[in-house]
Amino acid sequence: MRIVRLGQGVDRTGRLDPAAIERTRVALAEYRELIDTHQVKRIRMVATSATRDAANAPDFHDMVLATLGQPAEVITGQEEAALSFAGAVAGLPSGPEYVVVDIGGGSTEFVRGSGDTVTHSISTDIGCVRMTERHLHTDPPTAAELEALQRDVSAAVQKGLSHIGTGPARLVGLAGSVTTVGAIALGLTKYDRDRIHHSVLSTADVERVADQLSTLDHAQRAEIAVIYPGRVDVIIAGALILREIMRSSGFGQVIVSEHDILDGIAASVAS
């Protein structure tokens, strides 16, 4: 897996950064080699929030076609939510309803459903990259910056939760911000996917990790072994988004899932 940070700067400029497009090109070139080596027959290239918002998205699409030999499929927020849900609930008991939250770079998806059926979904513009670029400009962040981020996130979370409705359900969180918070809460000194997957965090666990991260500067966060280098600068925002979801939803616990939209996309290709 490669973190290319394609959404870098989109919230501020409305455009994909040339450096981000180049990082994506390099990753796609590596994937093209793997595809050729393993003679892969079915490919699905999916693009999400950043490419929905960027004015220069055509430049990105030209690059993808030239590098991968296949066009990128820009999916809607609702399609993104459905794929995230399919990936997240794979391997979980099929009986109860689930509320799945997918904290991405540019957006966070809220999805409610059961089994393979999605009943409600909404995409909100509060990803960890977008919120970091919009609010967190000091290292470590100031109280005023954290409060501004909190207000922004709270409004979007309330919108997301009200859209998907109430009723008994289990909360599932996925993507790198959630799994990283899970790894820190578990006290891991090395990232262990098997221990993180389907671990359960309480609201108090999330509060503790979010408060801890908010006081650390970039260098101190980088010393935490379970934080992937490409996530060090955005993990505070990701943790605060998860914290607000826990506070506002009242679920009390979140199941951490290592299965996410990638698994949902893979399943869609396999079917």
Domain locations along the chain: 10-74, 77-266
Identical fold at 10-74 and 77-266?
yes
Question: Is residue 8 over pLDDT 90?
Answer: no
Of the options 1.10.560.10, 3.30.420.150, 3.40.50.300, 3.10.129.10, the CATH number for the domain spanning 77-266 = 3.30.420.150
Question: Is residue 1 over pLDDT 80?
Answer: no
Question: Is residue 22 over pLDDT 90?
Answer: yes
Confidence category of residue 76, pLDDT binned at 50, 70, 90: confident
Question: How far is C-alpha 138 from the chain's CA centre?
Answer: 23
pLDDT at residue number 4? 87
Question: Is residue 51 over pLDDT 90?
Answer: no
Tokens of 257: 């899932």
Mean pLDDT of the chain: 92
For the four alpha carbons of 142, 127, 245 and 251, in that order, the dihedral sign comes to negative
Q: What is the pLDDT of residues 188-241, one digit of tens each?
A: 999 999 999 999 999 999 999 999 999 999 999 999 999 999 899 999 999 999
Average pLDDT over residues 38-45: 92
Helices (H), the chain: 10-13, 18-37, 49-53, 57-68, 77-89, 128-135, 143-164, 176-185, 193-196, 203-214, 218-222, 235-249, 261-270
Contact present, 123 and 78 (Cβ < 8 Å) = yes
- Find residue 74's DSSP bridge partners: 47
Tokens of 244: 């607000």
Question: Is residue 155 over pLDDT 90?
Answer: yes
Q: Which fold has domain 10-74?
A: Nucleotidyltransferase; domain 5 (3.30.420)
> If residue 94 lies in a helix (H) or strand (E), which one and from where to where?
none
Average pLDDT over residues 167-188: 95
Contact present, 201 and 256 (Cβ < 8 Å) = yes
